[in-house]
């Protein structure tokens, strides 16, 4: 199924800037929904955010200080309008490719019933990688036909569940899974549509931990050793499955399009072989991976430019191979939710070592955001309750876990924080809540969606009772 749901765009404000300290500040004339006054903004802010004339950070027309006072901290705040805008920008760009297309939200970036509902309501299919994500999407009202089941080690029980629920598509990752799925489908007297995940062996130009398309990867059939073509040949002999597409996801947080174009070259060659083998190929799924801005060091390319460039590469290369254009499927996650999320923490105790570093501790850390500990991720920060004050001192933001690596940000400019101040960390919408843990027996934070001045709780804060609920006494 390939389609687009149309919707209006929500555009960000345009403005001109000036320099103050190391941070750019700008004044804009705002609309009635913000304030009658001109408000102070700076380059750390994302779309839909501003600093109010009360000196507070505002997100989705909600005062961040009031949100923290109402729901507690740590608190992950998602701007629902921004999520919907991000999806609509993808759909608009895909429409301009003049290819058939399908947009699938990679729920691993952030999976909740509310998020699955929003993505589906905007026209997305949902990519799930476990029975838990599958059941979350189903509980949100997403039809099973809109679910695409990923994962490099799906259990037999998970595959049986997918077949029982009649999910729309299973992306097969390896030979063992291919054989097992064929057997299970035959036992169920059914047929399931699949895509074969290919590791095309290209450079994604990203961190090694989030690079997935190289030859030495746990994901997919290897293109370079002919493993991929052998999988197509094997699939042509197996009952219960129908290969409808080829899939390649080369990595995440990508700013350089060359890796995608290199992958298309190899995928087109394989696609032609698949057609010659009699497979009903319709789709080239290029996964996700487009990067977002976490800090001023990041330079993401315009979304439309990346997608139209990819589409032109597909048309050119498929023409060279003399095969029909495929439908283009994309599976964004980070670029749908990343910039829509902001985490609010309460500042705790401080440690200052003259000539070395200033530390301020927060009431969360690697248990709700492990990305710095995993691969050195960088963030920008702001005192949400003193957002209009000069950020003239460097502070490192430390989590409360018993690990030296439990840091959220190193040496970010802030006003001198006081215990009780509210620290906002920007662009925490992807791979934060979804990767949260209970290390040191810390409960998971609450999550709220904000939209047009209204806030709604979409994930309750865990309690201490929740932490011991599954413990069994001796």
Which of 121, 116, 97, 92 shows the shortest CA–CA distance to 106? 116
Q: Tell me if residue 23 falls in helix, strand or coil.
A: strand
Active-site residue set: 402
Strand ranges (E), 271-406: 283-285, 327-330, 341-353, 357-362, 381-383, 393-398
Q: Which two tokens stand for residue 466?
A: 């929740």
120 is in an annotated binding site: no
Q: Which two tokens stand for residue 128?
A: 């799930």
CA-CA-CA-CA torsion sign (173, 148, 292, 310):
positive
297 is in an annotated binding site: no
Strand ranges (E), 46-87: 49-51, 57-59, 62-63, 75-79
209 is in an annotated binding site: no
Task: Name the burial class of residue 100, with classes exposed (0-12), middle (13-18) and buried (19+) by CB atoms within 10 angstroms of its CB.
Answer: middle
333 is in an annotated binding site: yes
State the Cα–Cα distance between residues 274 and 232, nearest whole angstrom.
Answer: 6
461 is in an annotated binding site: no
Which of 292, 170, 158 shows the shortest CA–CA distance to 242? 170
88 is in an annotated binding site: no
403 is in an annotated binding site: yes
State the Cα–Cα distance between residues 265 and 152, nearest whole angstrom.
Answer: 24
371 is in an annotated binding site: yes
399 is in an annotated binding site: no
Strand ranges (E), 333-378: 341-353, 357-362
Q: Tell me if residue 390 falls in helix, strand or coil.
A: coil
Annotated binding site for pyridoxal 5'-phosphate: 289, 331-334, 431
Annotated binding site for substrate: 334, 371, 375, 403, 431
């Amino acid at each position: 199924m390939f389609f687009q749901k149309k919707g209006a765009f929500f555009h960000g404000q345009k403005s001109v800037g000036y320099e103050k300290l190391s941070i750019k500040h700008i004044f804009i004339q705002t609309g009635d929904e913000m304030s009658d006054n001109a408000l102070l903004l700076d380059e750390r802010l994302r779309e839909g955010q501003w600093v109010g004339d009360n000196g507070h950070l505002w997100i989705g027309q909600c005062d961040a200080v009031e949100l923290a006072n109402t729901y507690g901290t740590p608190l992950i705040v998602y701007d629902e309008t921004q999520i919907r805008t991000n999806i609509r920008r993808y759909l608009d760009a895909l429409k301009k490719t003049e290819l058939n297309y399908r947009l699938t939200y990679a729920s691993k970036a952030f999976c909740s019933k509310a998020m699955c509902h929003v993505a589906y309501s905007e026209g997305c299919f949902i990519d799930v990688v476990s029975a838990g994500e599958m059941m979350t999407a189903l509980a949100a009202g997403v039809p099973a036909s809109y679910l695409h089941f990923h994962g490099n080690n799906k259990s037999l029980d998970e595959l049986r569940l997918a077949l029982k629920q009649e999910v729309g598509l299973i992306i097969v990752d390896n030979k063992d899974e291919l054989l097992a799925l064929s057997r299970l489908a035959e036992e169920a007297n059914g047929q399931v549509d699949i895509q074969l995940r290919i590791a095309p062996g290209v450079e994604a130009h990203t961190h090694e931990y989030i690079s997935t398309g190289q030859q030495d990867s746990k994901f997919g059939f290897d293109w370079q050793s002919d493993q991929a073509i052998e999988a197509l040949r094997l699939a042509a002999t197996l009952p219960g499955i129908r290969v409808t597409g080829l899939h390649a996801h080369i990595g995440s947080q990508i700013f350089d399009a060359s890796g995608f174009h290199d992958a298309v070259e190899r995928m087109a060659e394989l696609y032609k072989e698949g057609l010659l083998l009699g497979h009903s190929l319709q789709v080239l799924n290029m996964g996700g991976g487009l990067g977002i801005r976490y800090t001023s060091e990041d330079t993401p390319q315009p979304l439309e430019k990346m997608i139209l460039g990819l589409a032109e590469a597909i048309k050119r290369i498929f023409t060279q191979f003399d095969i029909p254009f495929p439908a283009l499927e994309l599976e964004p996650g980070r670029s749908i939710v990343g910039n829509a999320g902001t985490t609010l923490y309460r500042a705790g105790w401080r440690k200052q070592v003259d000539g070395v570093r200033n530390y301020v501790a927060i009431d969360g850390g690697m248990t709700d955001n492990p990305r710095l500990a995993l691969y050195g991720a960088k963030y920008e920060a702001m005192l949400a309750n003193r957002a209009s004050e000069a950020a003239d001192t460097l502070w490192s933001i430390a989590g409360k876990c018993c690990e030296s690596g439990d840091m959220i940000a190193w040496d970010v400019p802030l006003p001198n924080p006081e215990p009780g101040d509210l620290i906002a960390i920007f662009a925490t919408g992807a791979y934060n809540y979804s990767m949260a843990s209970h290390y040191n027996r810390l409960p998971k934070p609450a999550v709220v969606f904000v939209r047009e001045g209204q806030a709604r709780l979409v994930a309750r804060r865990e309690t201490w009772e929740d932490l011991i609920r599954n413990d069994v006494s001796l």
